[in-house]
Structure 1
Amino acid sequence: MHSLSSWVLGILGIGAAVCQAAVTTVSVSATASHAIPTTLFGQMFEDINSGDGGLYAEMLQNRAFQQVTPGTSDALDFWSAIAGANIAVIADPKPVSDALPNSLQVSVPGKSTTAGFANSGFWGINVNSSWTYTASFYYKFPTSSSQSVKFTVELRSASGKTLASSATTASGTATTWKQVQLTLKPTTSAPDVNNQFVVLVQPSGSATTTVDFAMFSLFPPTFKGRSNGMRMDIAETLVEMGPKFFRFPGGNNLEVRPSCRGQTTATRWQWNATVGSLLDRPGRVGDWGYVNTDGLGLLEYLQFFEDADMEPIMAVWSGYSLGGTSLPENELAPYIQQSIDQACYDLCCSASGHLSLYALDQLHYSRSSQGYRSPGALRASLGHPEPFTLNYVEIGNEDFFAADTYPYRFQDFVGNLSKAFPQLTFIATSDVGDPTLTPTPQAYDVHVYQTPGWFAQNVFSYDSFARDGQKYFEGEYAAISTNANDLFGTPSDGRLTFPTMQSSSGEAAFMTGLERNSDIVFAASYAPLLQHVNSTQWTPDLVSFDAGSVVRSTSFYTQKLFATNQGDEFMPSTLPNQNGTVFWSISRLTSTLEVIIKIANSGNSSAQLAFALPFSDVASSGTLQLLTGAETASNTPEAPNTVVPKTSTITTGKTIDYTAPAFSVSIIRVVAS
C-alpha cells in the first residue's frame, strides 16, 4: 500500500511561506466548466490493526485461535487463566469445524467457584451500562462420561469488580459441540477500558473437569444493528466525513508477502473464505504480520456500504505477491475466475440452486468447478437477494512494483472480467502510461505520500493531463513527513505521528486541484484511514482510536469539509499562484443555488482575498466553516479537540472579502442567482 508512484518520486521539496500582504482578487466565471462527479471524495480502507479490534465490532482478540501453533504460549495471546484453572490451545481431534482446527482446553478443580479464564480484548474492553452485549462460545467435553457444569460469563474491571454477569448450566455427555449464547447488561459503566471478558467453570462434582471451548465472541450494539456488524462510534465517524465511496479490501493487505511466516499465493485475501458462517472462515495472516479473522468479510463490507450510502471501489488480486513474485500467465486462469465470482457475488441476480452453506468447500469453491453453485445464490442465501452496487473494480494494488509482468496480468484480468461485466470500469494500478497496457486503462489509481510543501507545490499536477477519456483515482495520498529526504523515517526524522495543521492545509491545497480537475479525477481518498493507537504500524492516519474512544484528526476534518461541501458543477475562476501557498476552488450546488468556495492556506501568513461573483443576486450573508491552528497542532488521544472546525456567519455580496488565516482550511457558502 504505502509507496510512491514513480511519477512523483522526483518532485520533492517544501514550499516556502509567502507573505500575502496585498489583496488577491478572484474573478469567478458565470459558466460552469464541467460536472463534478458524486464520487469525488471517499475513503480507502486497509486492515492495519484497524479491522479486527477497530471497524469490526468484535471485542475479543484471538477469539478462535486462528492461524496459531497449538501448545505454544503465543497461541494463548490475550487469554489468561483464573484461580487455578489450567488452559492450553490444542489441535482438537474433533474440531468445531475444519476451518477452525484449534480449541481452548480448560481443566478446573472440582467444586471450584472461581476457576476459569479471561480475555483482555483489543487492549481493553469498553463496558457501557447503556449497552446490552451479546456473548457466545462453543463447548464440548472431551470424554463421554456424564458431566454437569455451570458456566458464568462476566465483564470484569481491572480491580476484579463484576460489571455484568450471566450464567447457564451444561449437563449430559456433550462430546459434540454445542453453542452457548448469553446477553450481558452491565450494572455500571467502567471508568476506563482496562476490563476483561471472563468465563468461569464450576463442576458439580469433586473431580477435575476438562472442557474444550471454541469460537468465542463478544459484541456490543453495532452500527445500524447489523449482526456481526461494525463498531458504532468508528462507523459513525466514517459516515460523518461524508464519503461517497470506499476502496477495499485494502492495499497491501489484498496481496501476499512471501517473507511473512512462509506465506504463499494461497494466503492472499480470498473473498469466498470470508462469507458464510464464522465457523467456516479460517482467517489469514495478513500482510502486516498479524492474523485477520475475516469476520469482516465481503458481505459485511457490502452491507456497511449500503448502510453508509457509499459505493465500493473493489480490488481483486491480480497475481502479484509482495516480495517480487508474479504468477506466470499460464497459471492465472483460476484466479481470474475467482475474481469473476467476486464481482458476481456483488452483482449476480441468480438465487437458484442448492447451497451447502456450512461446508468448507462452499467457501473455497471457484467458478471453474462450480457445478450448480452460484455466487449470486450464495449472497441471496445469506440474506441479500438483490445485487449490491458495483461500478469500479481495481486490478491489483501498486503494480508499479511489478511493471514487467503487469501488462499480461492486466490484459488477462480485464479481458475476462469485461466480458462477464462490460458495465464495470476497470482501474489500473501501475504508473500512468508506463508500461503500456492493453486494453488502454479506463482509469489509473495514483498514490503519493509526500511533504506538506510537495502537496502545495503540486496543486496543478493534473492540469496538464490529456483530456482523452482516461480517468484518474487518487487512491492514496497523505502528507506524512516534513523531511523530503527521509519521507519514511521516524518522527525524529520529520515523520508525523498524527496529522498537523501544516500537513492538513497542504493536503487541502492539493484537494483544490483535484476538484478543479474533477473532469478527469473521479475519486480521491486519504490513506490510511484508521489506526489503533495501541498497535500502530503506520503514521499518520485519518482517524485514531482505542478500545473506547475515537480521535478525528485535522486531516479528517479537512476531508469532511471538502466532502460535505461538494457542489455538482465546477466554476472556473482566476487561478491561484502556482508558486504560492494559498489556493482555492469554487463549485456550485444547483439544487440550492449555493456557491461554495474552498480555500486552503498552507503558509505561515494570512492572506487577503476578494471573490468577485458573476451573479446579480447574492445573499448579504453566508456561512463560514473554518479549520485553523498552529503549524504543528494535532488532535491526539490526550487532546482530541485541539483543532476543530468552527462555523460562523459572514458578510457576503457580489464581492466577498475574506482573510484566510495561516495554516487553514476555509469553506464559504452563499446563495447566489
Structure 2
Amino acid sequence: MLRTGDRTTWLSLVSLFPPTYKNRPNGLRPDLMQMLVDMKPKFLRFPGGNYLEGNTFKDRFPWKETLGPLEDRPGHQGTWGYRSTDGLGMMEFLLWCEDMGAKPLLGLFAGYVLNKDYIKAGPELEGFVQDALDQIEYVVGDAKRTKWGARRAKDGHPEPFPLEYVEIGNEDWFDESGSYEGRFVQFYDAVKKKYPKLKVISSTGGKDYGGAKFPITKRRPDLWDEHYYSEAWDMMGMATQYDNYDRKGPKVFVGEWAAHDTKAPWEAGPEAGPTPNMKCTLGDAAFMTGMERNSDVVEMSCYAPLLVNANPGGRQWSLNLIGYDALNTFGSPSYYAQKMFAENLGDRTVALNLADVPTQSKGDKTLPGIFASATRDTKTGTLYVKLVNALPSAQEVAFDLKGANVAPSGTMTTLHHDDLKAMNSLEEPTKIAPKTARVENLGSSFRQTLPAQSVTVLKLEAKK
C-alpha cells in the first residue's frame, strides 16, 4: 500500500528479484537451487501433498490459472494458513525440474479436498478427469498438434518435458468414505488410454498406516505411495520394512518420510526445529539403507518437507530438510546424509551380511546398532558401502569382501556429532557436516572404525 498525499494506492503484485539460477525470469534463488542440484535429484513431485487438494474445492491447486504473466494470476488460498500468489506456477515448476536435471512427478487433483468433501466416481467427476488430461497435455503435448502443447509453447517452451510418472491425488486415505478406489479407476483408465506409457501412482493401497486401510483391487497401480513420519527409533526399526515385500506386486514410491525426535512435526509446533537434529538423522539414514537395499521394490523416494523459511512465524512444521531466510541457506544433518548417499551410488545393489552386530534396546524392543547397504558401479567396479552406527560408542567393523578386487587406498566420508540434539542453523550452517579422508591398507579383508552416532560412506575403488 502506498500513500501519496491524500490518495491511497493498493498494489496487487510486488515482485523484486535478485539474480536467479541460470538467470531465469521469475526464477529461483541460486543458493537454494545449488543445494538441491548437489543432491543429484532424479525427480521433483509437484504440486506436492495437501497443497494439491486444498481445504475446499475452490482452494485446490488451480494449475491453469498459474500460467502466463504474473500480474494475471489471481492466486489462491493455500492449505497452511497463507495465501499463495502462484508466482511459482506450472511452468516454473517444470523449468525448476529442467534446471536441476530432474524429471517432474505430476500430482493430479482427484476430486477430494481436506474438509472431507469429495466427488464420487461417475459423470460429475469427469470434468476433473479432463482437467488432469489437459494438465498432462501441457507437459508432454505436441506444440503444433495439441491445444495445451501449443499453450506451453506460447509460454516459452516448445519442447515437451520428460514426464514418466503421475500420481492420482494425495493421501486419499483421509477420505473415510472409501470413494478413492472408484475415483482412482476413473482417472487411471483415462490416463492409460491416452498415455499408456505413463506410470500411474495410487495414493492408497500401500502398507503405510493410511494406505493399508483402503486397498486398491480393481486396477493394478504401477506404484503406490507410502508416507512415514516416525520417531527416530521406529524409523530405525523400519530399515527392514521392504525386505519381505512382494516382488511381484506394485513398486513403491515413498513419497513422504522423515524421522522425528520426541514429538511428531505437526504436534511439535513452529517453535521446534526447523530442521532435524542428529538423532533424527540417524533414523533417516538407517531407513535409507533399507530403501537402497530394496531398490528393486522401492522405485522412488523423497523426504518431506523439502524447504522451510527459518524465520520465527515462517513455518508450521518442525522438520524440514533445508532452511533459509532472505539471504542465507543451510542444510540439515539429514540433508547431508542424503547428499552422501546420492554422491556415492552404483547401478547395482550388492548383497551383504551383518554378523555379530551389537544391539540397542528401548523398552522391550531390541534393534541392531549398525545398519548398512552397498552398491557397485558396474563400469568402474567401485563399491560404495553405507554404514550407520546408532550406538553411543565407536565400533570397529571387520570387512570380508567376497570376490572383490579392492585397491589399497579409498575414501571414508563421515557425518557425526556427539550430541544427538545438535542441529545446524542459520548461525551455524555446517555445525554437522560430512568430512572426507583417505583410508589405507584396504583389500578383500580389512578393519575400519565407525565413530559413535555416525553416518559413514566407504568408497572402495577397484584395483587396477
Q: Same fold (TM over 0.5)?
A: yes
Partners of 1:460 and 1:394 lie apart in 2 by: 26
1:619 has 2:401 as partner: no
Q: How far off its partner does 1:488 sit?
A: 4.0
* Secondary structure, aligned partner of 1:315: strand
1:546 has 2:325 as partner: yes
Partners of 1:620 and 1:646 lie apart in 2 by: 20
Does the aligned pair in 2 maintain the 1:477–1:527 contact within 8 Å? Answer: yes
Partners of 1:244 and 1:306 lie apart in 2 by: 11
1:272-293 deviations in whole A, cap 9, x for unaligned? 1111122321110111121111
Counterpart for residue 194 of structure 2 = 420
Does the aligned pair in 2 maintain the 1:499–1:555 contact within 8 Å? Answer: yes
1:87 has 2:13 as partner: no
Partners of 1:398 and 1:669 lie apart in 2 by: 38
Q: How far off its partner does 1:235 sit?
A: 0.9
**Aligned-residue identity in percent:** 39
Counterpart for residue 389 of structure 1 = 162
Q: State how many pairs are aligned.
A: 442
* Secondary structure, aligned partner of 1:218: coil
Q: What are the residue-to-residue correspondences of 1:237-248 with 2, within 5 Å? A: 237-248=35-46
Q: What are the residue-to-residue correspondences of 1:144-155 with 2, within 5 Å? A: none
Does the aligned pair in 1 maintain the 2:103–2:163 contact within 8 Å? Answer: yes
Aligned-partner residue type, residue 8 of structure 2: I
Aligned-partner residue type, residue 669 of structure 1: K
Larger Rg: 1
Counterpart for residue 133 of structure 2 = 340
Does the aligned pair in 1 maintain the 2:3–2:9 contact within 8 Å? Answer: no
Aligned-partner residue type, residue 542 of structure 1: L
Partners of 1:504 and 1:547 lie apart in 2 by: 26
Partners of 1:588 and 1:282 lie apart in 2 by: 50
Q: How far off its partner does 1:636 sit?
A: 1.1
Counterpart for residue 439 of structure 1 = 219
Aligned-partner residue type, residue 406 of structure 2: V
Q: How far off its partner does 1:342 sit?
A: 0.6
Counterpart for residue 361 of structure 2 = none
Does the aligned pair in 2 maintain the 1:622–1:650 contact within 8 Å? Answer: yes
Counterpart for residue 426 of structure 2 = 637
Counterpart for residue 376 of structure 1 = 149
Counterpart for residue 454 of structure 1 = 234
1:594 has 2:371 as partner: no
1:660 has 2:440 as partner: no
The CA RMSD measured in Å over matched residues stands at: 2.0
The structure with more strand, counted as a fraction of residues: 1
Partners of 2:269 and 2:400 lie apart in 1 by: 43
* Secondary structure, aligned partner of 1:325: coil
Does the aligned pair in 1 maintain the 2:266–2:317 contact within 8 Å? Answer: no
1:319-370 deviations in whole A, cap 9, x for unaligned? 0010211112231111100100111111111325xxxxxxxxxxxxxxxxxx
Partners of 1:431 and 1:422 lie apart in 2 by: 21
Partners of 1:656 and 1:632 lie apart in 2 by: 33
Counterpart for residue 520 of structure 1 = 297
1:605 has 2:393 as partner: yes
Partners of 2:14 and 2:74 lie apart in 1 by: 14
Does the aligned pair in 2 maintain the 1:410–1:438 contact within 8 Å? Answer: no
Q: How far off its partner does 1:86 sit?
A: 4.7
Q: How far off its partner does 1:298 sit?
A: 1.0
Q: How far off its partner does 1:226 sit?
A: 0.9
Counterpart for residue 405 of structure 1 = 179
**TM-score between the two structures when normalised by the length of structure 2:** 0.91
Aligned-partner residue type, residue 482 of structure 1: T
Q: How far off its partner does 1:414 sit?
A: 0.6
Aligned-partner residue type, residue 326 of structure 2: A
1:410-430 deviations in whole A, cap 9, x for unaligned? 000111111111000000111
1:490 has 2:268 as partner: yes
Q: Of residues 74, 98, 103 in structure 2, which corresponds to 1:306?
A: 98
Does the aligned pair in 2 maintain the 1:318–1:335 contact within 8 Å? Answer: yes
Does the aligned pair in 1 maintain the 2:188–2:200 contact within 8 Å? Answer: yes
Moved over 3 A (4+): 79-82, 575-578
1:28-59 deviations in whole A, cap 9, x for unaligned? xxxxxxxxxxxxxxxxxxxxxxxxxxxxxxxx
* Secondary structure, aligned partner of 2:411: strand
Aligned-partner residue type, residue 309 of structure 2: H
Counterpart for residue 360 of structure 2 = none
Partners of 1:490 and 1:382 lie apart in 2 by: 42
Partners of 1:288 and 1:382 lie apart in 2 by: 29
The structure with more helix, counted as a fraction of residues: 2
Partners of 1:445 and 1:653 lie apart in 2 by: 41
Partners of 2:115 and 2:395 lie apart in 1 by: 48
Q: What are the residue-to-residue correspondences of 1:98-497 with 2, within 5 Å? A: 104=11, 215-258=13-56, 265-329=57-121, 330-351=123-144, 374-403=147-176, 404-432=178-206, 434-483=214-263, 488-490=266-268, 496-497=273-274
Counterpart for residue 372 of structure 2 = 584
1:405-459 deviations in whole A, cap 9, x for unaligned? 1011100011111111100000011142533332121111100111110111111
Aligned-partner residue type, residue 525 of structure 1: C
* Secondary structure, aligned partner of 2:182: helix
Partners of 2:390 and 2:106 lie apart in 1 by: 33
Partners of 2:396 and 2:236 lie apart in 1 by: 18
- Gaps in structure 1 of 5+ consecutive residues: 1-78, 90-103, 105-213, 259-264, 353-372
* Secondary structure, aligned partner of 1:414: helix
1:289-320 deviations in whole A, cap 9, x for unaligned? 21111111111111121111011111000000
Partners of 2:262 and 2:454 lie apart in 1 by: 17
Q: How far off its partner does 1:81 sit?
A: 4.8
Partners of 1:341 and 1:492 lie apart in 2 by: 38
**TM-score between the two structures when normalised by the length of structure 1:** 0.63
Does the aligned pair in 2 maintain the 1:411–1:437 contact within 8 Å? Answer: no
Partners of 1:248 and 1:491 lie apart in 2 by: 25
Q: How far off its partner does 1:469 sit?
A: 4.2
Aligned-partner residue type, residue 610 of structure 1: A
* Secondary structure, aligned partner of 1:377: helix
Does the aligned pair in 2 maintain the 1:622–1:670 contact within 8 Å? Answer: yes
Change over 3 Å in CA distance of 1:604–1:344 after alignment to 2: same
Bigger relative contact order (CA 8 A; separation at least 6): 1
Partners of 1:407 and 1:449 lie apart in 2 by: 24
Aligned-partner residue type, residue 125 of structure 2: L
Partners of 1:400 and 1:491 lie apart in 2 by: 24
- Gaps in structure 2 of 5+ consecutive residues: 207-211, 358-365
Aligned-partner residue type, residue 251 of structure 1: G
Aligned-partner residue type, residue 431 of structure 2: T
